[in-house]
Structure 1
């Protein structure tokens, strides 16, 4: 750069575009959140968010021929904007028209407002999942509570149907006699035919499970056996076997983990296929709660399964230090063993959710204690972590992320949203709820925007089919900005969040071909439903790790049975 004088004016001449740039020079801006992401506090849930699930309840566009009780199944195609929140029957700031405290709300992520919902059975520490037709099912619960006119929920089945609009969705409850067994702290996993399996729990309230209170069995919804089926793993993993970790595997079997033990299980033949080695370290199941994720499945390695389990605690004591390890097991190995890794920080009750880029975002939890009331958990962890499964050991963890100042401990939840943000709510370590406690009952909502949302222009996708069958090819339109980098395609399901569990959460990469002009992508759907059970899914396209906003579609066994 040098300065000269022309006709009485000083003129700066730029020789280097690095040291001196024109105001018209097209320089790419770097976001201040590119490394840390962003944490924002917006909205209130109205009830303590013990359970949460992302819903889609708008105008019906098409219906399914297959019927249940002579009614059609409807699906909905407009934007995903509702989160169904469930608490137990207790005092909350949200009130029903009767003046009684609500314990369920429908939260609108566009307006950050909620609408109260009436429940009449106690949903305390229940489970949930979607049938293949889009109906949400809540299973189990706890004792009756007269002050809130809540009946016993131990054997309850609750439907939240998709055949409604946002302003008239209501619960439909079947209080007793629908499940064979009382189930408090059960796990639900969606099966490849679209039904649900309901596993484990206790038959009454308890700090941790006991021989007398144990429910060591499973059943199905809709029912397919005449009685519950005993699961011996739950006999041998007392007292820490509540909310067992369960994942549907590509071969159609189940991975089931409780305490430190795990098995591969054939739920059709009701037999153990394989016993896996115990996981080193502390127990990881409720109330010594760790978090578990089945890592993203990839077609290039024939959808090989790796399970990651992180955190936990050594004993159900308020002084017990949280665990700072993770274990990963590769089920494709001839002799699978647990590979132990750091969890960076001590953490019990963590929530591990998929980022839309295929990473695992860990939020919530604390450094001391266990899952329970009455000063059971202390020293909250305010900083998220991101785990990158494709990187080598030693470089998988991303730190230095935007922090929160809200303690998210017992009864916290997290969900991945279609736009790539993480919705975080809950924390209720006191009974009854108390907003003035050391760790108060939380009604505030937070949104964590991970760094992948700030790393450049996001791909744009359109013309995603409403319905896709298995083992079929479909084409979408694509818009990329700048130099075209590595393009990846995946589909995901956020799952049902409660107690560090993310039931039926899945992330599957898809084979694809990008057109020569980079304006469309030909995508191959999963070859079968073991990889991704039927129902709601979210399609995402990534360029160099930057994900698009996801687009919802439905994956179905028999597309020809759908009336459009």
Structure 2
């Protein structure tokens, strides 16, 4: 694939944030429904929000203005929303993508009003285009999960199938033997259906929304309670037990967060997983943990490296942003996840820098406290990286079934956070994918660029990167299928007065980057371009 870069210096208007270097907050619109779940609609600049069926929607169906909507399509460009139709209750569900970009929402909860139960439901949403603005959720009675699931996790596999794991058979504060669903299944399904998974019995009661990440060898990192394993996607069995993470459990309702750190060609895509925060105990007076654990699961002798955030936080959202750093949003410092169980909101996001630098060595810390918002984001909040390099932050629904005002009311305001790289003195590069190539990426064996004199250019500037980013499906501090993959640059050409030209190698296989749609960005001196959607074709 060939890409070209130039520079754009469009200004960004400051709304609130004491120092732009530490980020800027913009209040941009209203979400219509409380954003309990959220995921970008591929190949658009829109996001879909999903909410449970209860008395706190602020959106109505266009064909029935007396009926609430429980899901909306939110347009990031003009900050408007369009109501969608939901047939089954998607409370505390999960989601992912098919390789063609179709969003899949699955699982849910009991029937409410005229909305059917959603325990084993599968819901599909295809991206709208300029000629089709009536796309909506498609729910079919004949397509279901093999078993009902509330609080499951979904992760994309190397071949584009969805791995679905865990949950419970009904709503509860913690999981148990009586209600647990200790199994996994795939979509499209295997003939054998759901398969028993004893790991989810051994990790009770704190294993709802297991943390799952696809590793570059094609296997899965799975974490629940304090235990971590590597799970084969060929034999569908545990092939490695990893050390326990020190400290209290990290899954719901203690609710820490996890992220697969950006995969880089410079270290042959060695994976590292970061898990941060959570509550110290299942008590209303519990406090947020400061601890983070970082591990290389495929190393010869993997061990957790422990680091401390500047302050405690439960219900964090760990988001990979365009420069490859991780920003930790949302949450509280007292209580646990669940309705009316948390207080002392943490308003300041924290940046985590995965790579070493003079700055991290000088400060002996990878963490930087950023400018605070003034809007508490507690239970049922999300954060999502978007095409222009900002992060959309929405949600907070810590009260059951009510729109009544209280200390922390249901939140419909949508914010955008602009990281400090958007205010750098270095102009932002402008990414343009060559029209002759289109916006699809195959998996070539090798690519190079040839100069006019016929020589191969291998002099690639070390401060130029090209990345693919999947923002994932976000809910309950769980960012399913969220990943960033750096592409190997195999050719670079700079001609005075013309665009710089890069030639990059597509991902080697689906284990590194599962088929589907990604945001592509180019970075110069750690300053990212705006993203453009590209599609990785199935193998």
Please, what TM-score do these two structures have when normalized by structure 2?
Answer: 0.89
C-alpha change, 1:182 and 1:389, in structure 2 (3 Å) is same
Secondary structure in 1 aligned to 2:60? Answer: coil
Answer yes or no: is the 8 Å Cα contact 1:90–1:101 preserved in 2: no
Q: Which of 415, 435, 447 is 2:416 aligned to?
A: 447
C-alpha change, 1:488 and 1:177, in structure 2 (3 Å) is closer
String of CA shifts for 1:108-132, please: whole Å, max 9, x gaps. 0011010111101000000000011
Higher relative contact order (CA 8 A, sep 6+): 2
Partner of 1:505: 482
Partner of 1:161: 126
- Computing the radius of gyration from Cα coordinates, the structure with the larger value is 1
2:197 maps to 1:202: no
Query: Superposition pairs for residues 65-84 of structure 1, below 5 Å?
Result: 80-84=44-48
C-alpha change, 1:164 and 1:35, in structure 2 (3 Å) is closer
Q: Which of 95, 111, 126 is 2:93 aligned to?
A: 126
Q: Which of 459, 466, 471 is 2:444 aligned to?
A: 471
Q: Which of 429, 439, 442 is 1:459 aligned to?
A: 429
What number of residue pairs does the alignment pair up? 498
Distance 1:300 1:535 in 2: 24
C-alpha change, 1:305 and 1:254, in structure 2 (3 Å) is same
Give structure 1 stretches of 5+ with no counterpart. Answer: 1-28, 57-76, 477-483, 559-564
String of CA shifts for 1:359-386, please: whole Å, max 9, x gaps. 001110000111100x201100000111
String of CA shifts for 1:501-532, please: whole Å, max 9, x gaps. 11001101111032143710011111111000
Query: Superposition pairs for residues 505-524 of structure 1, below 5 Å?
Result: 505-512=482-489, 513-517=491-495, 519-524=500-505
Partner of 2:29: 43
Partner of 2:463: 486
Q: Which of 73, 79, 92 is 1:106 aligned to?
A: 73
Q: Which of 428, 434, 457 is 2:403 aligned to?
A: 434
Distance 1:548 1:454 in 2: 12
Secondary structure in 2 aligned to 1:511? Answer: strand
Distance apart, 1:396 and its partner CA? 4.4
Q: Which of 516, 523, 530 is 1:535 aligned to?
A: 516
Secondary structure in 1 aligned to 2:117? Answer: coil
Answer yes or no: is the 8 Å Cα contact 1:155–1:176 preserved in 2: no
String of CA shifts for 1:234-293, please: whole Å, max 9, x gaps. 010000000000011111110000010010001331211100010000110011100101
Q: List, as ranges, runs of 4+ consecutive aligned residues in structure 1 with deviation greater than 4 Å.
A: 31-34, 163-166, 392-396, 472-476
2:343 maps to 1:378: yes
Please, what TM-score do these two structures have when normalized by structure 1?
Answer: 0.85
Partner of 1:315: 281
Give structure 2 stretches of 5+ with no counterpart. Answer: 1-11, 450-460
Distance 1:451 1:177 in 2: 45
Secondary structure in 2 aligned to 1:35? Answer: helix
String of CA shifts for 1:66-85, please: whole Å, max 9, x gaps. xxxxxxxxxxx5xx221111
String of CA shifts for 1:318-373, please: whole Å, max 9, x gaps. 11111111000112431111111002111000001111010001110000111100
Answer yes or no: is the 8 Å Cα contact 2:155–2:214 preserved in 1: yes
RMSD over aligned CA atoms reads 2.0
Secondary structure in 1 aligned to 2:202? Answer: coil
Distance apart, 1:226 and its partner CA? 2.1
String of CA shifts for 1:81-117, please: whole Å, max 9, x gaps. 2111100111211112421221100100011010111
C-alpha change, 1:472 and 1:85, in structure 2 (3 Å) is farther
